[in-house]
A and B are shown apart, each in its own frame.
Chain A
Amino acid sequence: NAGVTQTPKFRILKIGQSMTLQCTQDMNHNYMYWYRQDPGMGLKLIYYSVGAGITDKGEVPNGYNVSRSTTEDFPLRLELAAPSQTSVYFCASSKEGTNEKLFFGSGTQLSVL
């Protein structure tokens, strides 16, 4: 019973590089989310999706892109990495209409140097 799986767990990028953070869930949840967590700042929503083919911006979308071609997968793309994107990234999913119970992955720690 895997739940929400994120890869990689750790990554160091140079300024200007690109990468994709992978997220997959096996619970058949329609709703998926990407959050970033900075020390002392709580979780900030980057993008979310209510189903395959549908995505929407959250509170801090600048510098990121997402796609949702299947129910299971919700990758997050960083095109031109900047030091301000150094953070821990969490992917989450929930059942339709009840986003109180978010199921989180174990996170990706990203450093941009």
Chain B
Amino acid sequence: DVQMTQSPSSLSASVGDRVTITCQANQDIGNYLNWYQQLPGKAPQLLIYDAFNLKTGVPSRFSGSESGTNFTLTISSLQPEDTGTYFCQHYHGLPPWTFGQGTKVEIK
């Protein structure tokens, strides 16, 4: 089974900082990875699909990249409205697919 290890579990950064969140797969999953944002008290929302494609309407400060089995979500300039929890989700093989454990992003 594919296991996703997401890190860090939480981070605190200042407005304007560059923030990176990583998900590592335990095997090659190609670029079969999505990123979701869950704002406080809200349902998750798809941010990025296929590792680096932004969903329509997502601000361009968000980006995704892939290097081997490591996937990165980057927020180039953290904004107050970005506070929330971010999850990765792979879709390698057949479902069920698993999510990462989440990264809680807070503003200093």
Q: A and B, one complex?
A: no
